[in-house]
Amino acid sequence: MPESSSLDVVMFSPSAEALGVDRDLVVADLGYRNGEAPDMVWELVDDLLPQLPAHVEIRCGFRILPSGSIDVGDDSFTANGMQFSTGPIIASQLKRSTSLALFVSTVGLQMERWSAQLMAEGDMMKGFLVDALASEVVERASVWLEQRVVDHIAPRGWKITNRYSPGYCDWAVSEQQKLFSLLPHQFCGITLTASSLMVPIKSLSGIIGLGPDVKRGAFQCSICDLKDCYRRRDDPGPAKEKA
């Protein structure tokens, strides 16, 4: 059961199974197209997937800001009197939002320790695949969390925009400092370093616009400016959107 508080903050610890980690997506994110990865890669991924539950400590959660507490401009928004310079791309997607969900998700420290340990033992391949799995799990956790936001605000008649994270589309990574200042201390066990790096590494932070008149926009890659990203997708296919 989620933990709640008067701040309209909710936290979850879903299991790896609940997130539905998809082997096809893990392998596709390594760069292979049409499933054309070496058998060995498939075998190792299939071998590692069932070991996930023993290593992940998935935690994710959000805070819903009070209705009417945000003001969206052309290239920024203001929440709780704090200005966030998202740049025009994200600001335009947030237009019509009357509130925001601030979210984080993490797979925990255990996964990076596992990966590092495998590499230290000389098994670079497994260590690398564990790292890739961890990236996939944290993205799945964020997708899963999005649905929890939808459920949470549905009774208010609100809908959601896409997720947006500091560090994407002209929104500086350092603005995570402001974002975290609006969340409970060490929310979901995540700390932010002076250089705005989240620890554990396999963590994501961001916002989702909320309101009666918002809608989910185009697929994420199409608005991102990292044009030669090796994970760029033209078409996500059904239910396979990536952050």
Partner 1 sequence: MNELLESLTRCVERGKVNSKSPYPPDLKGQDGADEFARKAIDAGIPPQEILSNGLIIGMQRVGERFRNKEIFVPDVLMAAKAMAAAMGHLKPFFQSDILKHKGTIVIGTVLGDLHDIGKKLVSMVIEGAGWEVVDLGTDVSPEKFLKAVDEHPGCVVGLSALLTTTMVNMESTVKHVKAKHPNVKVIIGGAPVTEEFALKIGADGYSSDPQGAVEFLNSRCTPN
By CB under 8 A, name the binding residues for partner 1: 30-32, 37-41, 116, 119, 124-125, 128-129, 131, 167, 172-174, 193-197, 199, 201, 226, 228, 230
Question: Taking the complex as a whole, how short is the minimal distance between the CB of residue 32 and ligand B12, in angstroms?
Answer: 14
Nearer to partner 1, 45 or 102 (CB): 45
For residue 30, what are the β-bridge partners?
none
Nearer to partner 1, 18 or 197 (CB): 197
Instruction: Give me 20's structure tokens.
Output: 């539905």
Cis peptide bond upstream of 200, omega within 30: yes
Q: Report residue 54 CA to chain centroid gap.
A: 21
Question: Taking the complex as a whole, how short is the minimal distance between the CB of residue 96 and ligand B12, in angstroms?
Answer: 23
Question: Taking the complex as a whole, how short is the minimal distance between the CB of residue 87 and ligand B12, in angstroms?
Answer: 11
β-pairing verdict for 77-79 and 82-84: antiparallel
Of partner 1, ligand B12, none, which one does residue 31 interact with (CB within 5 to 8 Å by kind)?
partner 1
Of partner 1, ligand B12, none, which one does residue 119 interact with (CB within 5 to 8 Å by kind)?
partner 1
Residue 56 dihedral angles phi and psi, to the nearest 5°: -90, 145
C-alpha 227/C-alpha 51 separation (Å) is 35
For residue 64, what are the β-bridge partners?
101
Nearer to ligand B12, 150 or 201 (CB): 201
Please give the residue ranges that form the binding site for ligand B12 (CB under 6 A).
135, 138-139, 165-168, 173, 176, 197-198, 201-206, 224, 226, 229-231
Dihedral sign of CA atoms 236, 188, 160, 93 in order: negative
